[in-house]
Amino acid sequence: METMPKAIKSGRANGQQSEFLVEYMVSHSEFANGKLMGPQGAIKATQHWTNLSNCLNELGPEKTMEQWKK
């Protein structure tokens, strides 16, 4: 029987991170609304998430890109 890997818990986002996240989404509305279209849409979305995750992690408790997406 295989054991499932335990989920890595991360700290809650602090106020600075929450504020930055909202400001980022407001200034990148196509990304926030999931409307990055075309053949480069998925690539651009991943680039946005990578950039956003790195910026948010500099401001407080670190999370993976997947954790920030939630």
- Residue pair 61/12 in contact (Cβ under 8 Å)? The answer is yes
Query: With contact defined as beta carbons under 8 Å apart, do 60 and 12 qualify?
Result: no
> Dihedral sign, CA of 66, 58, 52, 21?
positive
Structure confidence at residue 11 (pLDDT) = 80
Instruction: Taking each helix axis as running N to C, give the angle between helix 41-59 and helix 15-27, from 0 to 180 degrees, rounded to the nearest 10.
Output: 150
Q: Write the pLDDT tens digit of every residue in 8-54.
A: 566 899 999 999 999 999 999 999 999 999 989 999 999 999 999 99
What pTM was estimated for this model as a whole?
A: 0.80
Q: How many CB atoms lie within 10 A of CB 63?
A: 20
